[in-house]
Amino acid sequence: MRKVWALEAEILHIPHAEFAYLLELPLWSSVPNQGLLFDICPIEVIRNPDASIYQTQRLHQVDLIYPIDILRFQGRPWVLDGVHRIAKHFILNSFTLPARFHDEKIIPAISVG
């Protein structure tokens, strides 16, 4: 279980449009078990599922019951967990998505290693 999932935070419903820009960034790896390639954008997979069968399968497996976890760091939002859920909400034309916002004071609690 990811450490961020264990944190308590209010769930807010945020307009999906606030996160749409993330779909244009190369946040995903196109193939599994090759490290963090960051070589494909979510929107590429949405528009052309054959661009990455791996990420297409992950999109089909997304469970939207969980909120997006966002870190507020130096005045900016950073997605800690949930880019696949953001993409799935986009596919479904959801107007809002559930999100939890965390202050930067949680960083020591969620640090890996």
Amino acid letter, 97: L
CB 15 within 8 A of CB 79: no
Residue 113 reports pLDDT greater than 80? no
Residue 68 has a CB neighbour count (10 Å cut-off) of 23
> Could you give the CA distance from residue 64 to residue 75 in angstroms, rounded to a whole number?
27
| CATH, residue 45 | 3.90.1530
Q: Which of 16, 36, 35 is nearest to 26 (CA)?
A: 36
Task: Count the helices and strands in the chain (H runs, E runs).
Answer: 4, 4
**Can you give the pLDDT at residue 1?**
52
**Can you give the pLDDT at residue 56?**
98
> Could you give the CA distance from residue 73 to residue 44 in angstroms, rounded to a whole number?
28
Q: How confident is the model at residue 110 (pLDDT cuts 50, 70, 90)?
A: confident
User: Could you list the residue range(s) of the whole structural domain that residue 97 is in?
Assistant: 3-110
Number of domains composing the chain: 1
Lowest mean pLDDT among 30-39, 44-53, 90-99: 30-39
**Can you give the pLDDT at residue 112?**
79
Amino acid letter, 6: A
Q: What is the pTM of this model?
A: 0.91
